[in-house]
Structure 1
Amino acid sequence: MSGPGAPDQQPVDCSDLRVAIVAASWHQTVMDGLVAGALRACADYRVAEPTLVRVPGTFELPVVAAALARQGFDAVVALGVVIRGGTPHFEYVCNAATDGLSRVALDHTVPVGFGVLTCDTEDQAVDRAGLDGSREDKGHEATAAALVTARTLASITQATP
C-alpha cells in the first residue's frame, strides 16, 4: 500500500475490533519501527488495546498468527524482516512466511496484515521500517490494510441473510 498508486485512505473507526500483532524479534531496530507503526495505526483506527505477541523470527509468524485467528481476533498483523544473505535461507523463510500467512487468512477468514519486509540489505529494511528518516512505514500500512479488510468482512457478514 505504498509508493506510486497507493490509496489515499482515511482511518475508519475499528474500536469494536479485536486486533493482534505478532512480531518477530530479529533485527531489533527495524522491528521496533514496524511495531511502533502498527501501534500508531491501531491508535489512528481507534483500536484501544491491541494484543502484541513476540516470536523468535519470521518463520514462526504463521503458526502464532493461526493460533490468534482461532482465538477470535478480528484481524492479525504479522511483522517481520528477512534480509538476503549468501544462502538459500532467504527464499525458504520468505516463501514459508508468505504461504503460511496467506493460509491463515484463507483458512480462518481473518485478515492478516502482511508486514514482512523482504529486503536485499539492512538499509532497505530501515528505509521501510517507519523510523525517523524512513521513506515508508510498512508496520502502519500492514495494520491499516488488515483493519480495513476486517471492517469490509464485517460488513459482508452483516449484509448476508
Structure 2
Amino acid sequence: MSSSHKNLSDFSHIQVASATDYKFGIVVSQWNSEVTGALLQGAYDKLIAQGAEDKNIEIIHVPGSYELISGSDILLRDSSFDAIISLGCVIQGETKHFDFICDAVAHGLSNVAIKYNKPVIFGVLTTDNLQQALDRSGGKHGNKGEEAAITAIQMAEISKKY
C-alpha cells in the first residue's frame, strides 16, 4: 500500500515493551517549529503512554536539524540515557542545501550512535514541501515522532537484552 493512503504510525501489529525502566533524551530542532513541535508532542505522548516517567525524559532544543548531531552527542555524555530521539524537519528548496543537510544529519547521527553504542533514532522528516511534513507530523500519515518513540523503546529493550 502506498504511503498516500496509509497512517504510517499504526503499531497495532507489534507488541511494544514498557518504557518504564528507560531514560530517553529527545533532541528537537527549532527550525520548522510548527512541524517539529508536533513531532515532539507525538514522541513525548507516546513515551508517557508506554509507561515512561516525565523525570526520565530529557528534552533539549537545538537551532536546526544539523545541530541534532551535536545535541545527541551532548546528551549521550550522560551514560544513563538508554536511547536518544532526534526530531527535525528539512524541506526541499531550490538549492542543494537540502541534500547536504539530510546526508550530513543521517551520517552524523549514525556516528553518534556508534561512538556511544547507544540507539540514536532518526526522526527527521525530509519532505518535498510543508504539506508533506504536516501530513507526517500528526496529519493523515500519522506522526513520525510517535514512530521514533516506539523505535527508541524497542531499541532500548534490545540493548538491554544484548
Aligned-residue CA RMSD (Å):
1.8
Equivalent runs, 1:29-40 vs 2, <5 Å: 29-40=34-45
Give the equivalent residue in structure 2 for 1:159.
Answer: none
Normalised TM-score (structure 2): 0.88
* Structure 1: gaps of 5 or more residues: 157-161
Whole-angstrom CA distance in 2 between matches of 1:103 and 1:113:
12
Are the structure 2 counterparts of residues 7 and 104 from structure 1 closer, same or farther at C-alpha, using a change threshold of 3 Å?
farther
Matched-pair identity in % = 36
Return structure 1 stretches of 4+ with deviation > 3 angstroms. Answer: none
Give the equivalent residue in structure 1 for 2:60.
Answer: 53
User: Is 1:147 the counterpart of 2:153 in the alignment?
Assistant: yes
Matched residue type, 1:100: G
Matched residue type, 1:108: Y
* Structure 2: gaps of 5 or more residues: 1-6
Whole-angstrom CA distance in 2 between matches of 1:91 and 1:76:
24
Give the equivalent residue in structure 1 for 2:3.
Answer: none
SS at match of 1:81: strand
Equivalent runs, 1:11-160 vs 2, <5 Å: 11-49=16-54, 50-72=57-79, 73-130=81-138, 133-156=139-162
SS at match of 2:142: coil
Whole-angstrom CA distance in 2 between matches of 1:145 and 1:135:
17
SS at match of 2:66: helix
Whose relative contact order is higher, 1 or 2, with alpha carbons under 8 Å and at least 6 apart?
2
SS at match of 2:59: strand
TM-aligned CA deviation for residue 103 of structure 1:
0.8
TM-aligned CA deviation for residue 7 of structure 1:
7.5
